[in-house]
Chains A and B, each alone.
Chain A
């Protein structure tokens, strides 16, 4: 493919050229076109039933009464696609009662992979607005403790509002930089790092991201992510687990970040199998760089393959 052809393709779909160039390099032309096409279609919104507030059966009945057409997502026990709705999802009495959280399909999976248990100590390192914190509390049945951290005050307000709405009781919210986690002097059983990212995977939901991010942003995010993950690992106890996730499909924000911590031997982490059948394997090479073979155990989700937002996650164990 010539430079002009790439430029034209980028223009046709409204992207900055470098993004399309990168996709072609990573996936080849045919798949790139499928990805660009899929990004033109907004996925159905999805919601997670909050069993802290309502049993699943009651939830299904109540949503039906409210004239919602839901389709169970087969691989997510609390997840539903919303095929039809008469009312805005964020304004129903059921929403206000905390019966559900509006959450991207792929973004529901990392917490099941982390598998937090009642009674454990869990850190949610980049928590706001709380989609995953509320989900962690749900799996912990509100028992044990969650330390939920975020740096941005205005986002903390939404986090606290969502915690309250969803009946979460076991959380301590900290307004701090997650890079300072090791200074807290706690060692958690489980840590989730749902890192700030360029959000490239969300183009199908927010097309402005076709042009709003630059290559510098990817590099900037990548180095912040490496620092955050290093700190998160230090706050995990020996034998404990971490999940690293982003809503980006850029290898610099994903495999490269994991590779960085694998190479730092003193951090003592290894990649573990998620045991999931869905999702593509993580990359073991990208843009001329090669990654540890274990990175194929990480998971990638794409709009054109999984009809979800673009997403990445990786399960790590602290040795």
Chain B
């Protein structure tokens, strides 16, 4: 979010809820329920449609406050809906999904450093990868402790990894928590 723009929020409509739900469901059928239950979904009215999860308590205060003041930020930003009507996870969206999903690639300590520098992942950094994942699918990248540190796109089918060399590219880095250092301010 550029610091200049002022946010303003509205509730997500049915279509937007569908887009968000189905994108999250790609990481596990029960995930939308786990992540979205008990939360209000707000969308920023700016050019970028950012998606925010807000508890009922916070929502109640929001309704009250917005009569006098437009909030700049609220709750937790889990991603945004692009012009192509696709939902893209934000860093904290990755964290939410990463807590529950099985679509998780575990990388070594070295690999973690690479990811947090914004680099993509080579075979030698991959400690564990789920079976039956297709090339092009999105997976959560986690460190040896299982903490989600980023989102990667598979460059190969996960079954093929055994035939590859140490230096071969496995995951393209889509977004990682190093963002907080590079751009977070």
B65 within 8 A of A: yes
Q: A96 near B149 (CB under 8 angstroms)?
A: yes
Q: A147 near B95 (CB under 8 angstroms)?
A: no
The proximity string for A residues 88-113 relative to B, scoring 1 for CB distances below 8 Å and 0 otherwise, is 00110100110000000000000000
* Residues 141-199 of A contacting B (Cβ, < 8 Å): 143-145, 147, 153-154, 156-165, 167-176, 183-186
Q: A147 near B55 (CB under 8 angstroms)?
A: no
Residues of B within 8 A of A169 (CB): 53, 55, 58, 75-76
Q: A164 near B92 (CB under 8 angstroms)?
A: yes
Residues of B within 8 A of A28 (CB): none
Given contacts A97-B177, A173-B73, A184-B68, contact A161 B185 (CB under 8 A): yes
A121 within 8 A of B: yes
A55 within 8 A of B: no
Q: A174 near B72 (CB under 8 angstroms)?
A: yes
Range for the number of chain B residues in contact with chain A: 35 or more
Q: A184 near B55 (CB under 8 angstroms)?
A: no
Residues of A within 8 A of B177 (CB): 93, 96-97, 165
Chain B's closest residue to A94 (CB) is: B147
Q: A145 near B61 (CB under 8 angstroms)?
A: yes
Tell me, rounded to whole Å, the shortest Cβ–Cβ distance linking B142 to chain A. Answer: 11
A119 within 8 A of B: yes
Count how many pairs of residues, one from A and one from B, have CB atoms less than 8 Å apart in the complex. 106
* Residues 71-116 of B contacting A (Cβ, < 8 Å): 71-77, 90-92, 95, 112-113, 116
Q: B3 near A154 (CB under 8 angstroms)?
A: yes
- Select B65's contact among A119, A156, A163, A172, beta carbons within 8 Å: A172
Residues of A within 8 A of B113 (CB): 93
The proximity string for A residues 33-59 relative to B, scoring 1 for CB distances below 8 Å and 0 otherwise, is 000000000000000000000000000
Q: A186 near B61 (CB under 8 angstroms)?
A: yes
Q: A161 near B184 (CB under 8 angstroms)?
A: yes
Inter-chain CA distance A311–B90, complex, in Å, is 37
Q: B184 near A145 (CB under 8 angstroms)?
A: no
Given contacts A154-B3, A160-B1, A167-B95, contact A174 B69 (CB under 8 A): yes
Range for the number of chain A residues in contact with chain B: 35 or more
Inter-chain CA distance A110–B53, complex, in Å, is 29
Residues of A within 8 A of B116 (CB): 93, 96
Q: B61 near A121 (CB under 8 angstroms)?
A: yes
Inter-chain CA distance A184–B112, complex, in Å, is 45
- Select A172's contact among B4, B68, B74, beta carbons within 8 Å: B74
Chain A's closest residue to B73 (CB) is: A173
Inter-chain CA distance A78–B62, complex, in Å, is 30
Q: B77 near A174 (CB under 8 angstroms)?
A: no
Chain B's closest residue to A181 (CB) is: B69
Residues of B within 8 A of A156 (CB): 3, 72-73
Inter-chain CA distance A170–B39, complex, in Å, is 11
Chain A's closest residue to B90 (CB) is: A164
Q: B185 near A174 (CB under 8 angstroms)?
A: no
Tell me, rounded to whole Å, the shortest Cβ–Cβ distance linking A210 to chain B. Answer: 27
Given contacts A157-B185, A173-B73, A183-B68, contact A144 B57 (CB under 8 A): yes
Tell me, rounded to whole Å, the shortest Cβ–Cβ distance linking B119 to chain A. Answer: 14
Residues of A within 8 A of B64 (CB): 185-186
Residues of B within 8 A of A165 (CB): 177, 180, 184
Residues of A within 8 A of B181 (CB): 90-91, 96
Tell me, rounded to whole Å, the shortest Cβ–Cβ distance linking A39 to chain B. Answer: 29
B44 within 8 A of A: no
Chain B contacts to A: CB under 8 angstroms: 1, 3-4, 6, 53, 55, 57-58, 60-62, 64-65, 67-69, 71-77, 90-92, 95, 112-113, 116, 143, 145, 147, 149, 177-178, 180-181, 184-185
Given contacts A147-B65, A165-B180, 13 further A-B contacts (CB under 8 A): A91-B181, A97-B149, A97-B177, A158-B184, A159-B73, A160-B1, A164-B91, A165-B177, A169-B58, A170-B57, A171-B75, A173-B72, A174-B72
Shortest 5 CB-CB contacts between residues of A and residues of B:
A161-B184, A173-B73, A96-B177, A175-B72, A157-B3
User: Can you give 23 A-B contacts (C-beta < 8 A)?
Assistant: A62-B145, A93-B113, A93-B143, A93-B147, A96-B177, A97-B147, A121-B61, A144-B57, A145-B57, A145-B58, A160-B73, A163-B73, A165-B180, A167-B76, A167-B92, A168-B76, A169-B58, A170-B75, A174-B65, A176-B69, A184-B65, A184-B68, A185-B67
Chain A contacts to B: CB under 8 angstroms: 62, 90-91, 93, 96-97, 119, 121, 143-145, 147, 153-154, 156-165, 167-176, 183-186
